[in-house]
Structure 1
Amino acid sequence: MGRDSGTGPAASAAQSSAPARARASCSRCHKRKKRCDRMLPSCKNCVSARVRCSFEDDDLQTASYPILYVQGLEEKLRRMGRAMAAQERNTPQAAEATPILNNNHLYDDFEMPEIAMVDPECIPQGVYGSQVGNTSTLADNAEVLIESPLVNPRPTPDQTPTFGQQLTVLSLEATAERHLGSTTGLSFANLTQMILRRLAPDKADFVFNSHQDNTTEMDLLDLSSSSNPFNDSFFQSLNESISPYPLLFGDLLFTDSAGSGTALDSLAWPSDETHVRRLVNFYFAHSHTLYPILDRSEVMDTLEKIHQDPQKLATQSPLHAFRIWMVLAIGSTAYSSVTLTEESESMLFYNKALQYSEQALGSDEMVGELTDSFIADESPTGPNTWFLVGTAARLALGMGLHAASSYRKFPLNVQQRRKRIFFSIYMMDRVVSITLGRPFALHDDDIDVTPFEDTDEEFIHADSISPQNPLQPSLMAVPLHILSLRKIAGNISRQVYGNVKNANLTLPEREAIIASLHQELLDWRRSMPFPLPDVNESVPHLNTTWYDFNYYTHLAMIYRPSPLFPVSDLKRIKMLEMAASMSLRQAFSMHQQQRFAYNWLNFLALFTATLSLIYAITAQPDDLSTVLRNTRAIADLDLATQLFETLGLKFLAAKEIQGMIAKISRRYKEVRALNDTEPSMGY
């Protein structure tokens, strides 16, 4: 993830020289158990030691570049094309010159429409005033922001960062296309940017300075340290995260297998059975309770056969081999998202699984596509999430998984498995589509099949379902309850953000929609499974705090400015303030419990919650210093800053956002202190 460059030649040079980072450590660093910065063409450790880095001889290594670096190259090509075209027009031999590609249309697919600008005068009064400025004019401007095209142009190196730019970059991690719809909160981000003018005495734009950071590697965090993450235990845990198992991958290194089919062919099954069991168990505790795609019994049978005789891996069917390697990949990815450890191991397992994917799809077309989609959903650096989930949805519709009539010919246990697969796709579709603000691939009106049973698979037989101990919670109760949340999120998306007809309803009718959705969320939170299954203490959604976090993030989605309510009254602003504030506190609580998943989706949710809090505080008509004294806004923003600092160890964009939020927090503190130091006029 890249960040905006600062102004000036130095910043431009830094932007133009953004380094590429390999997917895995170099051979020398891996052998020596050293932290490798993975810079291409040579890592810093090898350069310092004056030895040749294995990256220089590896033409199969894959690498990642910051998004803004690639966008900068695109912009540079445009400028060069325009300069060449202008030069040829001014040259007498222009008519004889070799025709060149019209660079003005070279990147049309990447262009994004301008967002409507607002009158600088139409903003709330400064911090010294007690009332918001012209309310009707502000309302008009808010409507323009909500209804206008929703994607900002990409930032150029001489621009300062804005909330809209950061949200655009975060959202587009999941897709190659540039359209972002209303549910992404992009219009809201731009509205928040405008509201921040209230923090400037001259009502000018609130400007964020872009801070270039020399830290280009993904640092890893020792969560056991609450004060100083960069201590001895941190580096010790870092070394341990780079495979403490000498024979885990045989004699193969990460760099040997990242892109080499020959190396992957010879990749042996991990020899550390304890580690394998840990990953498989974490998969079924974490990923399986989000998307119950696989049958645990089938996976465990395959695992047991391999454990008894590793040579039997070669005799497994492509489908079984694909599943077992992908379970390791997903289990490793999920574990890394909670512990902030390196993901080279999961990429190795993932690449190995892909060797069997085509043959596996031939025998069971859904499993491979779904599991692939899940990996992309957890890690935006993987395949294109948007297309993978869409493809899985099309396959599901083609197989009739949405229609109850297609289930009658199957035994009961097969019916339940097909339902779990279908509603896993449904949940993925809701998450990805709402995140990107795009239409759903699966529509509720087309679905007449009921959800899967609240029963674990071992109690489901071909012709009946055995009773399960009512005092022992079912694992399937968790994804069923999360499915209910995804349905509510779909209703919010459709009624608040997607149905243009609703915007023409009367005020009481629109308020009734908001109240109904709020009640649905309340009922969802009050009916959560209890007690939750106690299978792994690190799984976020097996803790009540996760449900609180999601309740408040969805509540904020209802009450922030939207096409249904482009302008918020004080009541809705107060509700938004409460929801955003509680979202951040629940996230920080999970962070303290070491239950927070540091992935792209939570990163985006935190950013949106922080924007919601900033908007709700700054847009209130009361004197801003009074609002700040009577709320926990500053303390909550400081919590958000700590969360973004931790996320910055994995996502470079989080460091930029951390600086932006910290600056707003400092300005809030100045405003609060200014009023506190004013002499009292009382007698």
Structure 2
Amino acid sequence: MASQFNLARARASCSRCHRRKKRCDRTLPMCNNCHSSRVRCSFQDDQSQTASYPIAYVHGLEERIRTLEKSATGDERQLPRGEAAAVGFGEDSNFHDLPVRDAELCEQQDYLTQGILEAQPPTFAAELKTLSLEATAERHLGSTSGISFAKLTQMVLRRLTPDKADFVFANNEENTAGASFFNLSSPSDLFNESVFHSLSESISVHPLLFGDLFLADITEPDSALDSLAWPSDEGHVQHLINFYFAHSHTLYPIVTRSEVMQTLDRIRGNPQNLAEQSPLDIFRIWMILAIGSTAVSSVSLTEESESRIYYSKALQYSELALGSDDMAALEVIMLQVSYSFFNQLGPNTWFLVGIAARLALGMGLHTASTYENLPVDVQERHKRVFFSIYMMDRVVSVALGRPFALHDDDIDVTPFVDADEDSILPDGIAPQSSLQPSIMAVPLHVLALRRIAGKISRQIYSNRQNADLSAQQREEIIHSLHQELLAWRRNMPFPLPDIHDRVPHLNTIWYDFNYYTHLAMIYRPSPLSPVLDPKRIKILEMAASMSLRQAFSMHKQRRLAYNWLNFLALFTATLSLIYAITAQPDGLPTVLRETRAINDLDLALLLFETFGTKFLAATKIWNMVDEILRRYKAIRSANAGIGV
């Protein structure tokens, strides 16, 4: 009996892991880190510790109680509080009134009384939910997040079972490092809401602004921070700054490069001069090092202790920098959002994007009249900041399926110009070469993609807007968005700036990947088109397969960023392919032989295996996809003339 309770998991990290800033698996009664180090875990002493259990396990206990109660006939012992009550979990249930036959039942009742019914089963949908919720402390996910689509895919998977029953995953402990993932005594609800709940053990389950660590834990001085006045390797510092401007700055042009380089020049060789800079300058330079370092780590899959030190140093100046002025406050918030896209120690992405959007609206950055009397260089800087917020808002809101903080109908200011910073003067913009696009051509094209994503969200995933549309109007919307997306891909900047060979969006494959992931978003089941015809299913299959191939190409070229956004994109692409293959009206053996679905899912497994070095949930998802893939292969090998 005791071994079954190893499924218990604490709600928070143990004291030792929390103090040492180590990732805690929260296993009760002792976490694996403390067990491996042969030290006493704080869980063993904390009597107030609460735990979570898989719901399938709880159902098993419930059934066990029923069985024991039925077998307790003439020799039943009653608890002191009256007559035996029926076993149940409704409002009228009273655990203290249950008939008890032996100590085992008492133990089961005690654990149930402690609130283990709050747990959720580990499923695909729960994993998807937790992955999306890495960006937020709140729990709502809307339709663009893919949560409804994940549940629909679960229903389609019944086609893989002989009796069309729910698809049940096998327990494969060797691929989860000995961790028990599924309880086979109960059917597994592959895509219910709890999949996202435990997707990544590297992400905090606490609704804290700064992830797993409290703000005090990363701003209080320690030996590492005290000893670091400035990195001693100036070549490495320059490498991180160059990577920031090649990678993050070409997605979100938040800062002015000349200001950063002036700060760097003042402290290069004289670290003591850093203390003489303004709080904003100090915050900015540490954050650029932190973002550059975590971006490098996301592409190279290296550990991120360096970026966390830089981030902690920056936070010591954030409050003073926020108080400088409104534009400084925007920059402080947005640099933290940029960091959070890569590193789970960073702030609550959803929360901070909303704050930045509200502040920008309050400053009037969305209206053309605000810019009328400003010098041209100031206008362009403000526009770059505003439309960076816009792009961040679209990325996070689409990923979570939530309403946008910034609405296109409210924005009448034109985007920033396609010109490099040194060409923008207070009184105008110097002529640009027609043979070489500026660096700003990249974020401008990304901005166009974010606008298309916003249209997809509003026109395809809005139930209220779609309620009264005819079949022809629905088809016209899908066709129009498809054509707009195709035009975006055809009109990408050429040639792309050749400033770093590891930056994903400075290669055409990144644009192919985004084209196909957005195309799949258009054609998967949605409020606009809840039932797909065979033609749309084939388009969805193609888009999902091509998404996986492009992601694998970036992986092979070492250009793929292994962050939570790409993890989510890979997961939803895999779900789309599973749905499109399994839902096709043709016989499944024929479909599996005539498509590259099995090969493409093999690529997905390789990608999940790599993501597993950073996200524990990737290993869990690997097991689930592998189970489906093995079933596909068995079907393909069977009689080709028999459909499924």
* CA shift for structure 1 position 172: 1.4
Matched, 1:444 2:408: yes
8 Å CA contact 1:26, 1:38 repeated in 2: no
Give the alignment of 1:139-178 within 5 angstroms. Answer: 159=121, 161-178=122-139
Q: 1:326 to 1:20 in 2, by over 3 A?
A: same
| 1:461-512 deviations in Å (ceiling 9; x for gaps) | 1111111222222110000000000000000000000252323211111000
* CA shift for structure 1 position 46: 9.5
Q: 1:514 to 1:39 in 2, by over 3 A?
A: closer
Matched, 1:609 2:552: no
Match of 2:285 in 1: 324
| 1:193-224 deviations in Å (ceiling 9; x for gaps) | 110010011111111235563489xxxxxxxx
- Counterpart-to-counterpart distance in 2, 1:71 and 1:674: 39
TM-score (norm 1): 0.74
Match of 1:202 in 2: 163
Match of 2:382 in 1: 418
Match of 1:560 in 2: 524
- Counterpart-to-counterpart distance in 1, 2:144 and 2:314: 34
- Counterpart-to-counterpart distance in 1, 2:558 and 2:542: 24
Match of 2:221 in 1: 261
Match of 1:16 in 2: 9
1:342 to 291, 299, 303: 303
Q: 1:425 to 1:158 in 2, by over 3 A?
A: closer
| 1:145-180 deviations in Å (ceiling 9; x for gaps) | xxxxxxxxx997794x43222211211121111111
8 Å CA contact 1:322, 1:357 repeated in 2: yes
| 1:4-44 deviations in Å (ceiling 9; x for gaps) | xxxx96454144369948889969xxxxxxxx987899998
Matched, 1:383 2:347: yes
Match of 2:255 in 1: 294
Match of 2:459 in 1: 495
- Counterpart-to-counterpart distance in 2, 1:23 and 1:479: 40
Letter in 2 for 1:501: Q
Q: 1:186 to 1:48 in 2, by over 3 A?
A: closer
| 1:385-434 deviations in Å (ceiling 9; x for gaps) | 11110000001001111011011221110110000000000000001111
Match of 1:673 in 2: 637
8 Å CA contact 2:282, 2:317 repeated in 1: yes
Matched residue SS, 1:675: coil
- Counterpart-to-counterpart distance in 2, 1:38 and 1:590: 31
* Comparing 491-500 and 439-448, the one that deviates more: 491-500
Q: 1:10 to 1:567 in 2, by over 3 A?
A: farther
- Counterpart-to-counterpart distance in 1, 2:472 and 2:117: 41
Match of 1:130 in 2: none
Matched, 1:433 2:402: no
Unaligned runs of 5+ residues in structure 1 are 1-7, 28-35, 57-64, 84-89, 94-102, 105-153, 217-255, 679-683
Q: 1:156 to 1:654 in 2, by over 3 A?
A: farther
Match of 2:555 in 1: 591
- Counterpart-to-counterpart distance in 2, 1:560 and 1:426: 25
Letter in 2 for 1:478: V
1:283 to 240, 244, 257: 244
- Counterpart-to-counterpart distance in 1, 2:33 and 2:137: 34
RMSD between aligned residues: 3.3
Match of 2:585 in 1: 621
Identity of matched residues, %? 63
| 1:355-382 deviations in Å (ceiling 9; x for gaps) | 1111111112111011112222333443
8 Å CA contact 2:394, 2:454 repeated in 1: yes
- Counterpart-to-counterpart distance in 1, 2:487 and 2:498: 24
Q: 1:191 to 1:45 in 2, by over 3 A?
A: closer
Matched, 1:272 2:233: yes
Q: 1:626 to 1:565 in 2, by over 3 A?
A: same
Match of 1:397 in 2: 361
8 Å CA contact 1:210, 1:656 repeated in 2: no
TM-score (norm 2): 0.78
Match of 2:607 in 1: 643
Unaligned runs of 5+ residues in structure 2 are 43-48, 66-78, 83-89, 92-115, 180-215
8 Å CA contact 2:516, 2:547 repeated in 1: yes
Give the alignment of 1:506-517 within 5 angstroms. Answer: 506-517=470-481
| 1:61-102 deviations in Å (ceiling 9; x for gaps) | xxxx9xx976879x99xx9xxx9xxxxxx8779xxxxxxxxx
8 Å CA contact 1:618, 1:624 repeated in 2: yes
Match of 2:102 in 1: none
Matched, 1:406 2:406: no
* Comparing 626-635 and 379-388, the one that deviates more: 379-388
- Count of paired positions: 541
Q: 1:490 to 1:11 in 2, by over 3 A?
A: farther
Letter in 1 for 2:509: T
* CA shift for structure 1 position 334: 0.7
Matched residue SS, 1:382: coil
- Counterpart-to-counterpart distance in 2, 1:543 and 1:464: 31
Q: 1:491 to 1:267 in 2, by over 3 A?
A: same
| 1:242-273 deviations in Å (ceiling 9; x for gaps) | xxxxxxxxxxxxxx984533653553100011
- Counterpart-to-counterpart distance in 2, 1:38 and 1:276: 31
- Counterpart-to-counterpart distance in 2, 1:43 and 1:428: 37
Matched residue SS, 1:596: coil
* CA shift for structure 1 position 304: 1.3
- Counterpart-to-counterpart distance in 2, 1:210 and 1:40: 21
Letter in 2 for 1:484: A
Match of 2:188 in 1: none
Give the alignment of 1:3-402 within 5 angstroms. Answer: 10=3, 12-16=5-9, 20=13, 159=121, 161-211=122-172, 213-214=176-177, 258=218, 260-261=220-221, 263=223, 264=225, 267-363=228-324, 364-402=328-366
Matched residue SS, 2:568: helix
8 Å CA contact 1:175, 1:385 repeated in 2: yes
